[in-house]
Amino acid sequence: MSKAGDYRKSLYGSPNTVKTKLSMFNNHIAPFSTIGRDPDDIVRQCIKSWKEDDLSLATVKSCFVVLGEYMKMTYDITLDKKHLMFQHFQDTPRPQTKVKAWTQKEANTVLTMPVIWSSEEHHAWDMVRTYLNTGLRKGELLGLVWADIDFLNGVIRVQRSKDFATSRVGPTKTKKFRTVPMNHEVEEILTRRYNVGVAEVEFVFPHRDVNCTLEWICHHAKVTPITTHGLRHTFATTLLERSFSPKYVSELLGHDKLSTTLDIYWSYLPNKHKLEDIYGDS
């Protein structure tokens, strides 16, 4: 079996992960991985091809991950991916991710809506406001149990995620724990929902999708239509527009890397020109 074939056989992970890596390897690395080729030449030819094909920065990052795995498995060489990225792709524009979020004015309009909610709708309204004020992912909010709510220190411990389709409980997306502060509104919501004697392992919120409620809210408040994930985006963009540190926002969102936050929310950074000046002088 060829070295390329060995790498393909070694791929593991979820079906989507394997499919993506296989596609990356076949399209952007395999053509240069012929037997007997010098490993440094493989790297040079890959980078040359990626530049000629004008790949996006996100695609280049993924290609480097796969190339790094291939070089380690085949030649026992550890690539300095960060250095290579900076050396060859520092001028590549950051991907312009389209973020669908409310403006601060729209969020305030929604939060001050004079509406009367039924008992069932009140659950959804509590969830909407909690999403908006914590930036939690849908699965993370559904996975909260009362043991995660630390009223004494005013924080929420995000430790698990509950799959909406199957109700299965597992780790967070990045498989890391984090804490998110409760502002006054979230504290009020959780204090009202809490009953003395409730089991610590009981879920804080019902297992439900609030997108239908959001659709109704957007229509009646005459604001930009968004989904549950748009509430998470709104949380992030609001903090960044208020000049909170991107690193701090990244930690609150639970992003594995600061670069993920910058790639998604770059256009919302008030002082991004200063960052560009720094990178330009490097």
Q: How far is the CA of 101 from the CAs of 68, 175, 234, 247, in angstroms?
A: 36, 26, 5, 20
Structure tokens that stand for 162 in this block: 């509950």
Domain co-membership, 12 together with 126: no
Domain range enclosing 135: 104-274
Domain co-membership, 179 together with 250: yes
Q: Is 38 left (phi over 0), alpha (psi -120 to 50) or beta?
A: beta
- Do the domain assignments include residue 27? yes
Answer with the one of 47, 63, 89 that is the final residue of a domain.
89
* Pick from 70, 1, 6, 62: nearest CA to 32: 70
pLDDT tens-place values along the chain, 282 residues long: 456 677 888 887 677 778 888 999 999 999 888 767 789 999 999 999 999 988 888 889 889 999 999 999 989 999 999 899 989 988 776 656 678 999 999 999 998 887 666 666 788 999 999 999 999 999 999 999 999 999 999 999 999 999 988 899 999 988 999 999 999 999 999 999 999 889 999 999 999 989 999 999 999 999 999 999 999 999 999 999 999 999 999 999 999 888 889 888 988 887 665 544 433 333
Number of domains observed in the structure of the chain? 2
Pinpoint the alpha helices (H) of the chain. Answer: 3-10, 15-28, 39-52, 57-75, 81-89, 104-111, 119-134, 138-142, 184-193, 211-221, 228-241, 246-253, 258-265, 272-281
CB environment 122-147: b (16+ within 10 A), e (fewer): ebbbbbbbbbbbbbbbbbbbbbbbbe
Which domain CATH number covers 122? 1.10.443.10
